[in-house]
Amino acid sequence: MKDNTLYWVNVNYTILSLDNKCNGLMKFSEPVNMTYLKQNMYSMFNIYWRDINYKDNQLDRKLLDFEITDWGTADNMTLAFKLTFD
Per-residue pLDDT of the chain in tens (86 residues, 90 and over written 9): 888 887 788 999 999 999 999 999 999 999 999 999 999 998 988 888 888 999 999 999 888 999 999 999 999 999 999 999 87
Q: Kindly state whether residue 48 falls inside one of the protein's structural domains.
A: yes
Task: Confirm whether 7 is domain-assigned.
Answer: no
| CB-based contact 29:40 (threshold 8 Å) | no
Question: Model pTM?
Answer: 0.79
Best CA proximity match to 63, nearest among 86, 44, 45? 86
Q: How many domains does the chain have?
A: 1
Task: List the domain range (segments joined by +) for residue 40.
Answer: 13-84
Beta strands in the chain (DSSP E): 13-18, 23-28, 65-71, 78-84
Task: Say if 78 falls within a structural domain.
Answer: yes
d(CA 8, CA 70): 25
pLDDT at 5: 85
CA distance 86 to 63: 7
**What per-residue confidence (pLDDT) applies to 49?**
87
Strand 13-18 with 78-84, pairing:
unpaired
pLDDT of 85 reads 85
Spatial distance between the Cα atoms of 82 and 65, rounded to a whole number of angstroms: 8
Question: Is 73 part of a structural domain of the chain?
Answer: yes
